Amino acid sequence: MAANRRVTPPGGVVVTRRTDFDGSVQLHLSPPRLRLDEALLDVASTAKREADAVALLADACQEGATTAARLHEALSGRVRLSRRRLLLPILADVATGSMSVFERRYLHDVERSHGLPVARRQVRVVTRDGVTFRDVEYSDFGVVVELDGRLAHAGPRRWTDLERDVEAVVRGEATVRFGWLHVLEPCRAARVVGSLLRSRGWTGSLTDCGPDCAAVASSQRGAA
């Protein structure tokens, strides 16, 4: 309800007051209800874990219910929203194409934390079987990283993935596939991607993500 109204709620009803009532509530619907973007932000702001907030917003965008741009616009006007400083970078990641908790884990823990090149995400590719989307593509080096967040990977999908990888090889590209078990060891995963990128012309070097980082050899760390 609007912030300037005062009512005594009946039993079992919780009253929430909003200063942006007119802009956030769809009064023409029956019953009136919050706009979807506003409701999503409310729920995400109270999520117990960062992963839950990421999953909620990413899923809504992936299902076509809203977009990262719309959510970001709604959030920009809510300067007092709880956990706003967390949600802003989450929306920025979703806007770049990082559409799941798993993909965001790769983006932050593997790529950014270890100084890997900035990749393109959700890249549209036309194959003989139709249109597909690559999770991560290091275009300058012909390296593709596919992320499969399922804990089990079996059945016909194995053949589909194999055929996609072979097509990439035919085009002169290299594909590496990561599951949860790989990304849960981000330093080791970064070492694998860095090694592949260097073999294809990358002249950069990995950086430590922290004092216990295993991506950079101890000799290189000492020299740095």
What is the spatial distance between Cα 62 and Cα 60, in angstroms, rounded to a whole number? Answer: 6
For residues 146 and 161, the answer to whether their CB atoms sit within 8 Å is yes
Sign of the alpha-carbon dihedral angle for 42, 46, 52, 53: positive
Residues whose CB falls within 8 Å of the CB of residue 43, separated by 6 or more in sequence, listed in order: 56
pLDDT at 110: 96
The CA radius of gyration of the chain, in Å to the nearest whole number, is: 22
What is the spatial distance between Cα 81 and Cα 166, in angstroms, rounded to a whole number? Answer: 48
pLDDT at 73: 87
Across the chain, which has 224 residues, the per-10-residue mean pLDDT values are 60 64 60 82 88 84 88 86 84 80 90 95 80 88 85 54 66 84 90 93 94 74 47
Cα→Cα distances 124→16, 74, 134, 154, 183, Å: 43, 28, 7, 24, 23
pLDDT at 83: 83
Residue 135: how many CB atoms within 10 A of its CB? 23
β-bridge partners, 134: 123
For residues 35 and 25, the answer to whether their CB atoms sit within 8 Å is yes
* Structure letter (DSSP) for residue 154: -
